[in-house]
Structure 1
Amino acid sequence: MKIYFACSIRGGRNDAEIYAELAVYIKSKSTLLTEIFADSKLTSQGMNEPNNQIWQTDMNWIKEADAIIAEVTNPSLGVGYEIAKAEELGKPILALYQPKGGSRLSAMIEGSPKTGVVYYNNLKEAKNAIDIFINNHN
C-alpha cells in the first residue's frame, strides 16, 4: 500500500518531531511516498524547488497513493488542499488531530464525510489509528 503522508511545512514545523515519528511508523507498515516531509532538516521555508514543481510533485504523489494520512494539528493551507484533492480522487483519508492549547480542528476537515478524523493524545494512540486505517484499506 502506498501512503501519502501530509503534514504542515510552510504553515509551521512546531510538530516536526511528531511528523518524523509518524512517518517512520507509516514506513514500517507500507510504502511512504512523502518521506521528505518528515525530514528534520526541512524548515517552514519548505523545499528548495519552484512552487509549480512542488505542486506537480505533490499532485503526482497524491494520484499514485492508495491512501492519505494527514497530521492536521497545526493548521496548514497546503494540507487542506491536499486532503481536498485526495477526496476528489476518491482516496481513503485519515486525519490525525492532537487537541492542545484550546485550538479546534477546522470544520472543513472534521465535517467532511470523506475524511476519517481521529483525535489522539499521544503517539501510541496515533499509531493505533494508523494500524486500523491501513488494515481497513489494505
Structure 2
Amino acid sequence: MHIYFCGSIRGGRQDVAIYRRIVKKLQMYGDVLTEHVSHADLSEKVIVAEVTQPSLGVGYELGRAVAMDKRILCLFRTSSERVLSAMIRGADSQPASSLFQVHDYAEEDVEGILEKYFGELAKT
C-alpha cells in the first residue's frame, strides 16, 4: 500500500519528532511516499496528515485528496492548546466509514490509533 503523509514544513517544524514517530509506524503498513516530511533537515491510497500545526500547504493537499476521493486520516494533538480548523473538523461529519476522518490524540497514543485505523482498513 502507498501512504502519503502530510505535515507542516514551512508553518513550523516544532512537531518533527512526532512526525518521525508517525512515519515510522506508517512504514509498517506500506510504502510512505513522503517520509521526507519527517526528516529534521528539511498513485496514493491513503493520506495521513498530522494537522496540529496549521499549514496552508497541508490544507491544500487535503483539499486535493478530497477532490480525488482519497481515504484521509487527520491526526490532531489536543495537548497543543491549538484549535483545529473548523473546515478540517467539519469535514469529519460522516460516519466512521467515511473517507475523511479526524482523530484527536495524545502523543503516547498515536501508534495505537494508527494500528486501529489500518487494522480496520485491512478488513475492507
Using structure 1 for the length normalisation, give the TM-score: 0.78
Question: Aligned-pair RMSD on alpha carbons?
Answer: 1.3
Shift of 1:30: 1.3
Question: Amino acid of the residue matched to residue 115 of structure 1?
Answer: F
The 3-state SS of whatever aligns with 1:110 is helix
Residue 78 (str. 1) matches residue 57 (str. 2): yes
With over 3 angstroms needed to count, the CA separation of the structure-2 counterparts of 1:41 and 1:92, relative to structure 1, is same
Identity across aligned pairs (percent)?
37
Aligned residues: 116
Partner of 1:105: 84
Large movers: runs of 4+ above 3 Å: none
Residue 25 (str. 1) matches residue 10 (str. 2): no
Q: Distance in 2 between matches of 1:27 and 1:66?
A: 14
Partner of 1:68: 47
Counterparts of 1:1-138 in structure 2, within 5 Å, are 1-42=1-42, 64-113=43-92, 114-123=99-108, 125-138=109-122
Using structure 2 for the length normalisation, give the TM-score: 0.87
Question: Amino acid of the residue matched to residue 106 of structure 2?
Answer: N
Which consecutive residues of structure 1, in runs of 5 or more, have no partner in the other structure?
A: 43-63
Which consecutive residues of structure 2, in runs of 5 or more, have no partner in the other structure?
A: 93-98
Asked if the contact 2:18/2:107 (under 8 Å) is kept, the reply is no
